[in-house]
Amino acid sequence: MQKFCLIVLGCLFLSSCGDEKKEKDTVEKVEIIEKPIVEAYGFNLDDFVVLKDTVRNGDSFGDLMIKNKVDYQKIFKISTEFKDTFDVRRIKIGKPYAILKSKDTSEIAQFFIYEDDRINYTVVDLRDSVIAYRGKKNVKYVERVASGVISSNLSTAINEQGIDYGVTNNLSEIYAWSIDFFRLQKGDKFKVLYKEKYINDSIYAGAEPIEAAFFEHNGESFYAFSYETDSVNNISEYYNEQAKNLRRAFLKAPVEFSRISSRYNLNRRIAYYGYKVRPHKGTDYAAPIGTPILATANGTVIESTRRGGNGKYVKIEHNSTYSTQYLHMKNQNVKKGQYVKQGDVIGWIGMTGNTGGPHVCYRFWKNGKQVDPLREKLPVAEPIVDSLRGRYLEFINPIKAKLDSVPYIEVIEEVKEVIKEEQQLTRK
């Protein structure tokens, strides 16, 4: 019996040792997971009470600061001494902002951060010495190569691949002087090299300007390469493979992605007038009411008024040879005597004056006589300077080789929906 008890006690002792060992092993395997530091705008947000919101109708910088216990002297200093960095009068409805408040019982605002756009922001330091400075979020740039074959129009060919709509606009701007986008042919082709921006590696923040492009229109090839010609002022232009500037003195059209509803025609006959000859000395571009109308070249506004059948219109003098006029506007966006640059919005499509539908009648003068701009050989911009030509050609060689090697993509119906779904998920 005594021997049996010793055996039982031995088993219990070994069992308890095993349990103790298991407990020790369990304890040794426990990992302490530290809470990740939440950083934004260059701050550890855990150090503050954080208020995030967007500017609402009726909000002002002063009101936001007073609500968060900032004294009047600091508000006045920011409003008067830091206009170049942060103009408090220009905060816009819908823009996000953050207020970082102290963690003590007072919860006084220490920093105000205003998001100028998805990447750039302004920080107002509200502590003892009030200052304001600008910052940028960390941005990752991803190179993208895209190509396509036109089946109906450029927008469709690009959007079917889930490419940013801004790339469509950029491409149309690059070739605005070379290609008539209202007359694209089925089977025309394009290739583009550009970069996409991502905040914190995952949040899509838009596309950078196109670095290089190729367009085949009606069997003719058009190359475009972005090249910085003025590093001091950060000015870049698009040139072709022969170093010729793609930009011309005039845009081909005053409206983007519109259609020509009536061409310049000196022999036009209209049934309403008994088929008598009623010359049409303008080119009509039909587009929805409110569509921006662009100045086709640099110049000075010599008329911005309303008169008879012209309705509301703007006339621009570009130089001693050329002038342009834009009729039937909903409203003008410029005044007489104002200098405008090519591509500036000078008004919006409307139906004022004699018009049967929303459009802009674009009139073009050369030496005081109205002519058809689509038949004119418009002046080109200056080519790249001789001192940069060799460097430019050397710069574009590898880019051109890369562009030439890109295959054309024809998106079939079965994958269009998949691309759209992926695009929506990526950019949420």
pLDDT score, position 401: 95
What is the percent of the chain where pLDDT is above 90? 39
- Given a cut of 60, whether residue 416 has pLDDT beyond it is no
Distances in Å between the Cα of 133 and the Cα atoms of 121, 138, 269 are 9, 16, 64
Quote the CA–CA distance of 69 and 78 in Å, as a whole number.
15
Q: Give the end-to-end CA distance of the chain in Å, rounded to a whole number.
A: 78
Q: H-helix or E-strand containing 402?
A: helix 386-404
Could you tell me if 328 and 362 are in contact, meaning their C-beta atoms sit under 8 angstroms apart? no
Q: Which domains, ranges and CATH numbers included, belong to the chain? A: 40-136 (3.10.450.350), 140-248+405-426 (3.10.450.350), 259-371 (2.70.70.10)
Quote the CA–CA distance of 379 and 373 in Å, as a whole number.
12
Q: What is the pLDDT of residues 359-376, one digit of tens each?
A: 999 999 998 899 988 888
- Given a cut of 70, whether residue 9 has pLDDT beyond it is no
Q: DSSP secondary structure string, 129-146?
A: S-EEEEEE--EEEEEEEE
The pTM (predicted TM-score) of the whole model is 0.57
Quote the CA–CA distance of 24 and 136 in Å, as a whole number.
49
pLDDT score, position 413: 45
- Given a cut of 80, whether residue 357 has pLDDT beyond it is yes
- Given a cut of 50, whether residue 172 has pLDDT beyond it is yes
CA dihedral 82, 85, 88, 92 (to 10 degrees): 180
Lowest mean pLDDT among 171-180, 235-244, 304-313: 171-180
Q: DSSP secondary structure string, 241-305?
A: TTS-B--BSS-S-SSTT-EEEE--BTT-EEGGGTTEE--B-SEEEE--TT-EEE-SS-EEEEEEE
Q: What is the pLDDT of residues 36-78, one digit of tens each?
A: 667 888 899 899 999 999 999 989 999 999 999 998 899 999 9
Q: What is the pLDDT of residues 220-251, one digit of tens each?
A: 899 999 998 877 767 788 999 999 888 777 88
Compute the half-sphere exposure of residue 103: CA atoms within 13 Å on the CB side of its CA: 5
- What value does the mean pLDDT take over residues 204-231? 90
- Given a cut of 60, whether residue 142 has pLDDT beyond it is yes
Instruction: Work out the pLDDT band at 337, boundaries 50, 70, 90.
Output: very high
Residue in the block written with tokens 């300007």: 209
pLDDT score, position 426: 54
Name the more confident of 270 and 279. Answer: 279
Could you tell me if 131 and 125 are in contact, meaning their C-beta atoms sit under 8 angstroms apart? yes
Average pLDDT value for the chain: 83
Q: How many CB atoms lie within 10 A of CB 176?
A: 22
Q: DSSP secondary structure string, 324-352?
A: EEEEEEEEE---TT-EE-TT-EEEEEB--
Instruction: Work out the pLDDT band at 165, boundaries 50, 70, 90.
Output: confident
Instruction: Work out the pLDDT band at 277, boundaries 50, 70, 90.
Output: low
In terms of Cβ atoms closer than 10 Å to its own Cβ (0-12, 13-18, 19+), residue 241 is middle
- What value does the mean pLDDT take over residues 248-261? 80
Rg (the chain; Cα; Å) = 32
Quote the CA–CA distance of 366 and 8 in Å, as a whole number.
116
Strand partners, 148: 190
pLDDT score, position 218: 85
